[in-house]
Chains A and B, each alone.
Chain A
Amino acid sequence: MSALYDRIQELAAEYPESRSAVMPALRLAQEEHGGWLPPEAFREVGEALELTPAYCKAVASFYDMFQLEPVGRHMVEVCTNVSCALVGAQQVLEAFERELGVHAGETTEDGEVTLRTVECAGGCGWGTVVAVDHRYREPVRPEDVPAIVRGLHDGA
């Protein structure tokens, strides 16, 4: 019926068992719903894969990349695991907090940007790693932050 339903069927066809498509399906649904998964999204995915919404939420809540609450249009993720932290990730994070006016874990009032810390992003040799809308910037130093934030607003 809906386009999402059909696209999920395509995903499911790639796997021997359709349940395997739950993660890609949730990713699609998250994209459709503005970066997060409202209750409706779990119903849609559940219906397409013959799973309960509860099951879909149980899966989604296990993973860090599925958002269960609304997020900003942009996502800034700062790695604060050991390697990045050793070379100043906290200072980078604080620079973002100052520049955006929110704490880590929060979204700017205009709903534009969500800032959060993440565990090791896998770019440790080039710390501090910051993912802006899921594209890595490495390395980022505190002095690079204002330009990144400006880019977010401009590129909007």
Chain B
Amino acid sequence: MALRELLLKDADTRDLTQLAEYEAVGGYRSLRKALGMERQAVLEELLAADVRGRGGAGFPMGRKASFLPKPEDSAKPIYLVVNADESEPGTFKDREIMLRVPHLFIEGVFIAAHTIGSSQAFIYLRGEYLTEYEVIVAALEEAREAGYVGKDVLGSGWDLTVVVHRGAGAYICGEETGLLESLEGNRGQPRTKPPFPAVSGLYASPTLINNVETLATVPKIVEMGGAAYAALGVENSAGTRVFSLSGNVANGGNYELELGTSLRELIYDLGGGIPGGRELKAVIPGGSSVPVLTAAEVDTPLDFDSMAQAGTMLGSGAVIVIDDRCCMVQLGLRVAQFYMHESCGKCTPCREGTRWMVQLLRKIEDGEATQGELDVLLNVCDRILGHCLCPLGDAAAMPVASYVAKFRDEYQRHIDEGGCPFGGESSLQGVLAPVDQHHAHVRAEIEVPVGP
């Protein structure tokens, strides 16, 4: 298996940001087709396609849509909310989709909205994505002029308005309930579930939330039929995914692959391997929130079940390649700093635990930690795990615990040798994380002890 372009098809040869070009390759035919079908029939195709969410959790899209009440049974309006907040470290595939095939994406939004009987959709777009915002707004405008969205879409009698809502820099707003809070104009702190968004989401109304890539598959599924789509990929992992490849690899970028392709193919055959004659040390296969794989595990196939078997997750499809210059304590520290910075502050274990993790990791890296404190670190991870309001705490604890588990001797050497065995030569040496810089928001100084 190799590159299998479905979503990004034709994007190399044509400017698919232009409506005419997109229509020339069959664009918006799926919307017409879906409008001519019963809503339930479209839903059946999505169920048959067995497409799992591309945002991170991997929940089957068709099933999630089927939890929503039928529009005729709902006293409240039904909303479609698009998660375009892409912020999982290592992930930049939604951005590629929005920049290069914006019409495919919004066509997916239109079809999904129609399928669930929604007349209002919101695209929650990561605030930093400025060019992407302009591209999406332009595409929506073209689509509106062509009658694909707005009042009485293609004469079907169905109205749809789409609002692009820009975020403002908070990772937690990618978590679906944090996103809803933010979209309602609150601080983006997650809500307890249940109730799930399908029952009570945006403005306490039934809401379907899907990732950009998930929605971009919808026109393809409608076009090919669910069964044909399901034939792509492997069992429990149907279809293609756009993988974001980054880190110590020759050709970083996005690669659309059939699920089940091995990590090795992606890193070596497509990504050109590790540059500078270095050795592969570790791979983070699904964004920084997932446990790490060692070089020995590089043959693991990129699908949900294989990753689970290897003790990790496919997550957002962000593959971060790490070569042998990287100190795994520094990696742990940098990852923990990210989660500390992004913890929303609502629940105790995440807010307090991520900060404590950073303190402990800093001490270990500085060579000042005792043996006991390494155990405390693992125990802190353990005490965060499964105790938080949303998965962010787990997303900090799981990877760090995996670094210690898989590179225990490196951690041990920091303690035994009273310092970093890389002697200042690690690729992550001295990286300044936003939590450590004087930050306008942080009026009360956070005391993170610095080195001697």
Contact = CB atoms under 8 A, between A and B. Distances in A.
A touches B (Cβ under 8 A): yes
Interface in A61-83: 61-69, 71, 80-83
A8 to B, nearest CB: 12
A90 B126 contact: no
B89 A15 contact: no
Contacts, number: 181
A93 interface: yes
Contacts of A90: 428-432
A80 B434 contact: yes
B171 A119 contact: yes
A24 interface: yes
Q: How large is the interface on B (under 10, 10 to 19, 20 to 34, 35 or more residues)?
A: 35 or more
B412 interface: no
Nearest to A104: B437
Given A117-B437, A119-B338, A120-B338, A83 B184 contact: no
Contact of B92 (A63, A82, A93, A124): A124
A90 B330 CA distance: 13
A106 B322 CA distance: 31
A130 interface: no
A19 interface: yes
Contacts of B86: 122
A15 B185 CA distance: 10
B contact patch SS: loop
B185 A19 contact: yes
A59 B440 contact: no
Interface string B170-193: 110000000000111111100000
A59 B246 contact: no
Given A86-B427, A124-B91, A24 B165 contact: yes
A86 B428 contact: yes
B169 interface: yes
B425 to A, nearest CB: 13
Nearest to A17: B203
Given A63-B169, A124-B252, A83 B320 contact: yes
| Most A CB within 10 A of own CB, among B88, B128, B253, B320 | B128
Interface string A90-111: 1001000000000111100000
Given A66-B168, A106-B438, A116-B434, A82 B89 contact: yes
Given A86-B248, A134-B128, A26 B168 contact: yes
Contacts of A135: 130-131
Contacts of A65: 127-128, 167-169
B211 interface: no
Nearest to B130: A134
Contacts of A23: 165-168, 182, 185
A4 interface: no
Nearest to A81: B89
Interface residues of A, number: 56
A116 B86 CA distance: 21
A82 B90 contact: yes
Given A17-B203, A82-B90, A125 B253 contact: yes
B254 to A, nearest CB: 7
Contact of B168 (A17, A64, A81, A83): A64
Interface string A26-64: 110000000000000000000001000000001101111
Nearest to A21: B185
A149 interface: no
Interface in B362-401: none
Nearest to A63: B168
A148 interface: no
Nearest to B171: A119
B320 to A, nearest CB: 5
Contacts of B167: 23, 63, 65
A122 B131 contact: no
| Most B CB within 10 A of own CB, among A59, A106, A135 | A59
17 contacts: A17-B184, A19-B185, A20-B184, A58-B187, A59-B186, A59-B187, A68-B440, A68-B441, A69-B440, A80-B434, A83-B89, A86-B428, A118-B169, A122-B126, A124-B90, A124-B318, A134-B130
Interface of B: 77, 86-92, 95, 120, 126-131, 163, 165-171, 182-188, 203, 244-248, 252-254, 284, 288, 318, 320, 322-323, 326, 331, 334-335, 338, 341-342, 344, 427-434, 437-441
> Would you list the 9 A-B pairs with minimal beta carbon distance, nearest first?
A125-B252, A64-B169, A124-B246, A19-B185, A63-B168, A105-B437, A65-B169, A105-B438, A83-B246
